[in-house]
Amino acid sequence: MRDWLPFEWIAATRFLREGRAQSLFIVAGVAIGVAVIVFMSALLAGLQLNLVRRTLSAQSHITLLPPEEVARPLRGAADDGLASPLPGAAAGTDGASATASASAASPERELALVQRPLQRVRSIDQWRKLRDQLGALPGIAVVTPVAAGSAFAQRGDASRAIQLAGVEPDGYFRVVALPDKLVAGSTRLDAQHILVGTELASDLGVRVGDKLRISAANGNAMTLTVGGTLDLGSKAANARNAYVLLPNAQSLLRLVGGASSLEINVTELFAADRIAADIAARTGLRADSWIGTNAQFFSALKAQTISNTVIRAFVALSVAFGIASVLVVSVVQRSKEIGILRAMGASRGQVLRVFLLQGGLLGLGGSLVGSSIGFGALALWHRFARNTDGTPIFQLDLDPMLFVSAALLATLVGVLAATTPALRAARLDPVQAIRG
């Protein structure tokens, strides 16, 4: 039944069966290593995905803003002022002597002191056209306008400063999933309704259906009905954030027909920095990506990824040394058999492939067992590792490619680990090997 198998396969499987105890030990070692790699990789991937989802649950991937206002000094006027006589010169002193006194007191001219101007709420120029252009770019999933600024929410004698955001619900809810954060009421936004955070509602003593007076610093005001309360995942956000329809915010903030920012979501999270730089170069506007605004968080993610890679490398190295040590012993123990095979006509290449196959089979067998152990450990962890309310700590998204890559890695490590013993076996002189 095995006549169709190549010689190398027959010899490799026979050697593995004859050294059954050694083979089982090394398969167990490989399985433990692969189980550790699978378990840690899946756990870390799930943790990172959960952290990223929570971080981005209340913000867009890219925020497009108008350029900052910059004050530019009038150099000609400054120079004229420096050259003119000093104001308030004493009576009887001519302009020449006053100028000479100024020159003696200050031999070098000082540059004008320019203060940074107050940044006002401004609209992005031609934002509708820009939204359509950006939405057609590859890698961009959604672009939606926002008119945001500071305001006051009042109910009776209670007043709180808020961050007001005017949005288009259809687009904005695809960027920030406000319906998933709803605690009470509904996320219906129209000209008469406002959505507020739970802390803000508690501070003002309002519930769904109550009235709020929203006023801006410019004097504009309107009365709106609380349509729903939201838990945005942060106490500070819950105490400040409020959402209204875009035209309402434009009217309150005196941004008639304008948008203070464009909120953008991309298809690839970690490509946000590159896409933001490209958008900034195209438009001349400020493009802030979530990676830049959460630099410390992103650095922590990179550190986790690096540490996981280092651990996997050390596990793979230990597996490689285990396979290599077993095959080195096998070569020594089977020197006579290798010599007989060479005397019967087996080529050096065939002997080399026999031991490479052994390493690959040990790695593959260990990876299959290890993947099963890792999957079982993940299932147990997901079942018993719970929050105090009984919900899972975070969801695990098991990627089938994780198990495929683990099997390929273990097989490759097995083949590489078998290279040195295989070369040693192939170089054995048949006569000396038979004589022992």
Give yes or no: residues 306 and 403 share one domain: yes
Q: Which helix (DSSP H) or strand (DSSP E) does residue 148 occupy?
A: strand 140-155
Return the pLDDT at 260.
92
Residue at 183 is within a domain: yes
Query: pLDDT of 331-340, one tens digit each?
Result: 777 777 777 7
Give yes or no: residues 411 and 313 share one domain: yes
Least confident of 106-110, 338-342, 372-376: 106-110
State the Cα angle at 333 between 332 and 338, rounded to 5°. 80
Parallel, antiparallel, or unpaired: how do β-strands 140-155 and 193-197 relate? unpaired
Give yes or no: residues 407 and 361 share one domain: yes
| Of 239, 253, 236, the residue nearest 158 (C-alpha) | 239
Residue at 394 is within a domain: yes
Mean pLDDT for the chain?
Answer: 81
> pLDDT > 70: what percent of the chain?
84
Give yes or no: residues 387 and 316 share one domain: yes
Give yes or no: residues 356 and 207 share one domain: no
Distances from the Cα of 364 to the Cαs of 7, 10, 11, 234, in angstroms?
A: 20, 17, 18, 47
Give yes or no: residues 301 and 280 share one domain: no
Give yes or no: residues 154 and 278 share one domain: yes
Residue at 93 is within a domain: no
Residue at 141 is within a domain: yes
Six-digit token string for 257: 């027909």
Domain boundary among 243, 260, 284: 284
Domain boundary among 284, 319, 334: 284
Residue at 115 is within a domain: no
Parallel, antiparallel, or unpaired: how do β-strands 221-230 and 193-197 relate? parallel
Query: pLDDT of 77-87, one tens digit each?
Result: 444 444 444 34
Mean pLDDT confidence for 296-303? 82
How many CA atoms, within 13 angstroms, populate the side-chain half-sphere of residue 40? Answer: 18
Give yes or no: residues 152 and 218 share one domain: yes
Query: Residue 60: is its pLDDT beyond 50?
Result: yes
Mean pLDDT confidence for 255-264? 91
CA distance 76 to 74: 6
What contacts 362, CB < 8 A, 6 or more positions away?
A: 16, 23, 26, 27, 30, 323, 326, 414
Q: What is the pTM of this model?
A: 0.66
Residue at 86 is within a domain: no
Parallel, antiparallel, or unpaired: how do β-strands 261-266 and 140-155 relate? antiparallel
What contacts 59, CB < 8 A, 6 or more positions away?
A: 176, 290, 293
Least confident of 86-90, 176-180, 213-217: 86-90
Which residue range is the domain that position 154 belongs to?
127-284
Please, are residues 363 and 411 in contact by the beta-carbon 8 Å criterion? yes
Per-residue pLDDT band for 244 (boundaries 50, 70, 90) equals very high
Give yes or no: residues 312 and 353 share one domain: yes
Return the pLDDT at 278.
92
Give yes or no: residues 373 and 421 share one domain: yes
H helices present in 264-294, as ranges: 272-283, 290-293
Q: Which residues on neighbouring strands pair with residue 150, listed in sequence order? A: 163
Residue at 182 is within a domain: yes
Give yes or no: residues 230 and 163 share one domain: yes
State the Cα angle at 43 between 39 and 46, rounded to 5°. 145
Per-residue pLDDT band for 229 (boundaries 50, 70, 90) equals very high
Query: Residue 90: is its pLDDT beyond 50?
Result: no
**pLDDT top residue among 29 and 85:** 29
Give yes or no: residues 202 and 141 share one domain: yes
Return the pLDDT at 358.
84
Residue at 77 is within a domain: no
Domain boundary among 284, 317, 343: 284
Helices then strands, counting H and E runs in the chain, come out as: 17, 10
Count up the domains in the chain and report the number.
2
Query: Residue 100: is its pLDDT beyond 60?
Result: no
Mean pLDDT confidence for 235-264? 92
Distances from the Cα of 29 to the Cαs of 97, 315, 365, 372, 412, in angstroms?
A: 95, 10, 11, 14, 16
